[in-house]
Amino acid sequence: MSDGLQQINRLVEAESAFVDAVLNEAATVIVGQRYVMERLLIGILSGGHILLEGVPGLAKTLAIKTLAQVFAVEFKRIQFTPDLLPADVLGTLIYDQSKGQFVPKLGPIFANLVLADEINRAPAKVQSALLEAMQEKQVTIGDTTYSLKEPFLVLATQNPVDQEGTYALPEAQVDRFLMKLHVTYPSKAEERIIIDRMTTALMPSAKSVAGPNDVLRARQVVTQIYIDDKIKEYVLDIVSATRNPKAYNLEALGPLIQYGASPRASLSMIAAARAHAFIQRRGYVTPEDIKAIAKDVLRHRVIPSFEADAEGVSAEMIIDRIFAEVKVP
């Protein structure tokens, strides 16, 4: 092992000490959902925004709020509704009579963790305002541009049922999310624990075990995690196969894919894989890291065709076929 790799391994070991404490403390409130909590942590460590999809009542909001408590960062929740305006999210100028001038009133976007609840319930103008803030990490109100707080992360939820009165996010906007997570029902045993835990007089609450400075230091280490050229080629092969499946002996997938993944998918996969390696206390990325996060990175970027919909083939099925065919380094 080279000296450089030994050094990054030591850095990862030192800076990742809070990972287990964070996940264990979150588990005092959130029953099960280890996968979701790890992916939210990956988002925080890589600075990537996350879209969560699941039916109501699966503790999506509680998971995000608990994470904010564990990291002792400022949390804001925005309930998206059809009558929401961009100013309700970003802020606006209001007239101060005592000063005789307009002064800025900053919106809820100015927080560390921002929950955009049911993002698909707001019209496109509001969604665009939020996604621009996510991309630029800044907001302009009047003539002044304000930088958003660091760490800054948007966690958006959308409900896959009850689509009446919703505005689907365009694929190009969804592409700005690092990962899209599917939140599933708990097992019967887990739901029994939820009943016991949530029906007592004293509701469980997480305490802080890390701080924003821990996140910022960890982010610096995550960007230094070693990724071999063979792993980079593996990522490129996976993403390229979504655009040109014929080149990877996947001719049957051609008619099933309307649009393949964008170059942002390659960047997101590497960023998320590095954060996953960090959680695993490693200073280097392996093919297993890529496999672990690939579905979350690609499921909203690979757009199935009408033919795929007619045949009941989902984006996840397409991704599975690609991974089965692309050679692992």
Is residue 11 domain-resident? Answer: no
Residue 250 and residue 174 share a domain = no
Residue 99 and residue 65 share a domain = yes
Helices assigned H by DSSP within the chain: 3-15, 18-26, 34-46, 60-71, 86-90, 124-136, 171-174, 188-198, 212-222, 229-243, 263-279, 287-298, 306-311, 315-325
Is residue 12 domain-resident? Answer: no
Is residue 5 domain-resident? Answer: no
Residue 280 and residue 174 share a domain = no
Residue 237 and residue 202 share a domain = no
Q: Which two tokens stand for residue 53?
A: 């999809």
In 3D space, the residue among 194, 152, 179 whose CA is nearest the CA of residue 35 turns out to be 179
Is residue 129 domain-resident? Answer: yes
Mean pLDDT, the chain, integer: 85
Residue 64 pLDDT level (bands cut at 50, 70, 90): confident
pLDDT digits (tens, 9 = 90+) for 40-54: 889 999 988 999 887
In 3D space, the residue among 140, 38, 34 whose CA is nearest the CA of residue 90 turns out to be 140
Residue 272 and residue 165 share a domain = no
Q: Is the pLDDT of residue 162 over 60?
A: no
Is residue 2 domain-resident? Answer: no
Is residue 120 domain-resident? Answer: yes
Residue 99 and residue 28 share a domain = yes
| Residues 180 and 274 sit within 8 Å (Cβ to Cβ) | no
Domain finish residue from 201, 218, 235: 218
Residue 96 and residue 71 share a domain = yes
Return the number of other C-beta atoms located less than 10 Å from residue 15's C-beta: 18
Assign residue 198 the CATH number of its domain: 3.40.50.300
Domain finish residue from 218, 244, 261: 218
Residue 273 and residue 142 share a domain = no
Residue 35 pLDDT level (bands cut at 50, 70, 90): confident
Average pLDDT on 206-218 reads 85
Which pLDDT belongs to residue 275? 93
Which residue range is the domain that position 272 belongs to?
226-325
Is residue 138 domain-resident? Answer: yes
Q: Is the pLDDT of residue 113 over 60?
A: yes
Residue 230 and residue 206 share a domain = no
| DSSP code of residue 204 | -
Residue 283 and residue 152 share a domain = no
pLDDT digits (tens, 9 = 90+) for 164-183: 556 677 776 788 889 998 87
In 3D space, the residue among 241, 224, 228 whose CA is nearest the CA of residue 286 turns out to be 228
Assign residue 258 the CATH number of its domain: 1.10.8.80
Is residue 234 domain-resident? Answer: yes
Write the single-letter amino acid at 152.
F
In 3D space, the residue among 173, 192, 156, 137 whose CA is nearest the CA of residue 64 turns out to be 156
Which pLDDT belongs to residue 205? 75
- Per the structure, the count of domains in the chain is 2
Among the listed ranges 160-164, 263-267, 301-305, which one has the minimum average pLDDT value?
160-164
Which pLDDT belongs to residue 58? 67
In 3D space, the residue among 231, 279, 261, 222 whose CA is nearest the CA of residue 39 turns out to be 279
Selection from 103-112, 180-189, 279-288 with the highest mean pLDDT: 279-288
Residue 198 and residue 290 share a domain = no
Residue 306 and residue 182 share a domain = no
Write the single-letter amino acid at 183.
V
Residue 235 pLDDT level (bands cut at 50, 70, 90): very high
Question: Given its phi and psi angles, is residue 281 left (phi above 0), alpha (psi -120 to 50 degrees) or beta?
Answer: left
Domain finish residue from 218, 244, 270: 218
